[in-house]
Amino acid sequence: MDNLFQDSLGEQSEHPPREMLLLFVDGEVAAKEAGQLEAHLEACWPCRVKTQKIQAAIADIIEFDEQVLTPRLVPPKNWRNFERQLRHLVRESGSPSLSSRFLGFLARAQVRLKTVSFSSALSWRFITIPATLCLVFVGLMIWFAISPSSNISASEILSESERRTSIWENQPDKVLHWGYDVTFSNHPGGLPDGKYISLHWQNNTGGKASRLNRLYDGNGVLVSAAWVRKDGSEVYFSRSRADEIRITPTSDVLLSYAAHLNEKSRQALENFVRTSAQIWQIHPDNDLQIKQKYLNPLEGSVQIIQTADAGKVFRVRSVRFIGNDKSMVSEEIDDVAADSFKLFRSHQVIRYPDGKTAITDSQLKLYQETSVEDFDAHDLSAELQQVKRIIQISPEEVLKIAELDEQAKKNNQ
């Protein structure tokens, strides 16, 4: 039996040492050795009894811990104090304040305006911030007045584009397929810089939508994928964790879990389920309302940029604070076709509080109708068969996210 059961004198002994049995019980033995031990235990009564004794001792310890020690330890009442200390520490350790971030942003915006929109003989160094904003405003007014296609505002262009896209994706009983060429640079999720292909499907048959997204790298390798099923559950795959897939509970499971919660938690979770259900329902207006609520570009500034092909293309720049603490600045330049309002190109720069930037370029590559079979052929059933581990995300975990969402909503109001 190899050298597995060698005792301290290096002699081969018939039985594994008792220490080894504890390691085995504790799952600390390598797979190969564990197999050998298991085989030995099947055959050997004395060793099996020893193993059972170890397990009985562990059971006693746990019983003692749970019934005697833990109840003696009344959890401190002052945990609440921790959040105060943490907030103090956060302030102390210099997370920039909102106002300083805003001023910093204006300073950067000023520099950009200088390079992009205007050329002026004025020395920008001596212009105060309000004056800058006035100039931008006046400049835009003049631009709207003289521009032949200026009868629509920048934010109207974006929301019209949203509206039409939403209508297209939510066509009843159809299966839609679209995709982008994407370039990531400094991707926050750690994806290597480079070109990617992002493919999407939406299956609207049967009165409810299911959705599928697959992201491939430049070599055609699947990097990540998501599949929102008609029962509301979501399946996530990512190559960096190729041996596991995560699945969220179905809407039904979440709602029945919610029913037993206190009022506040119940509402948070129900809102969460309702919002996702609405997003996946095929009611373009309903869908759009929700999207607009979350995606309102007016949170920041939106403006039209003049391009050589004005009249065919609207180029819209929007700048907003984003993130749940509004600590990041997103600057986005979108090209929208003037006739169809199709958003076909987008360039987004996100600036993080620490000065890092992430850039995403995307170009619409295809949008077409396809078949249910095509959808099914690309869903994650095959991956679900192959992965080693399927992690079910618990309703508790979803509740935590739902509560954070509620919190963020409140903060935004």
Q: Taking CB under 8 A as the criterion, which residues in 156-185 touch another protein? A: 158, 162, 165, 180, 184
According to the binding rule CB under 8 A, does residue 89 interact with another protein? yes
- Does position 225 interact with another protein (CB under 8 A)? The reply is yes
CB 13 within 8 A of CB 7: yes
Burial of 291 (0-12, 13-18, 19+ CB in 10 A): middle
Backbone dihedral angles phi then psi of residue 215, each to the nearest 5 degrees: -115, 125
Q: Retrieve residue 385's tokens.
A: 């068969």
Give the nearest distance from C-beta 268 to another protein in angstroms: 11
As a whole number of angstroms, the distance between CA 320 and CA 329 comes to: 6
Task: Single out the segment in contact with another protein by CB under 8 A; choices: 4-12, 120-128, 369-377, 401-409.
Answer: 401-409
230 is a contact residue toward another protein (CB under 8 A): no
Query: Least CB distance from residue 340 to another protein, whole Å?
Result: 15
Q: Which residues pair with 225 in a beta bridge?
A: 214, 237
Cβ neighbours, 10 Å, residue 76: 9
Q: Can you list the pairs that 215-218 forms with residues at least 24 positions away whose Cβ atoms lie under 8 Å?
A: 215/182, 217/191, 217/192, 218/194
Q: Does 381 bind another protein (CB under 8 A)?
A: no
Amino acid identity for residue 140 in this structure: L
- By CB under 8 A, the residues from 281 to 340 that bind another protein are 291, 294-295, 322-325, 327-328, 330, 332, 334
Of the candidates 305, 298, 290, which has an alpha carbon nearest to the alpha carbon of residue 321? 298
CB of 138 to another protein, least distance (A): 28
Considering only residues 352 through 371, tell me which ones interact with another protein, judged by CB under 8 A: 358, 360, 362, 364
Q: Decide if residue 266 touches another protein (CB under 8 A).
A: no
Residue 218 contacts another protein per CB under 8 A:
no
Q: Does the footprint of another protein cover residue 61 (CB under 8 A)?
A: yes
Contact residue for another protein among 4, 6, 15, 23 (CB under 8 A): 23
- Binding part of the chain for another protein, among 18-26, 96-104, 107-115, 255-263 by CB under 8 A, reads 18-26
Q: Is residue 343 involved in binding another protein (CB under 8 A)?
A: yes
Q: CA 66 to CA 58: how far, in whole Å? A: 12
Which helix or strand (DSSP H or E) is residue 217 part of? strand 210-217
Eight-class DSSP state of 341? -
Query: Residue 202 interacts with another protein (CB under 8 A)?
Result: no
CB of 132 to another protein, least distance (A): 25
Please name the helix (run of DSSP H) or strand (run of DSSP E) that holds residue 400, with its range, or none.
Answer: helix 395-412
Quick one: which of 43, 73, 121, 308 contacts another protein (CB under 8 A)?
Answer: 73
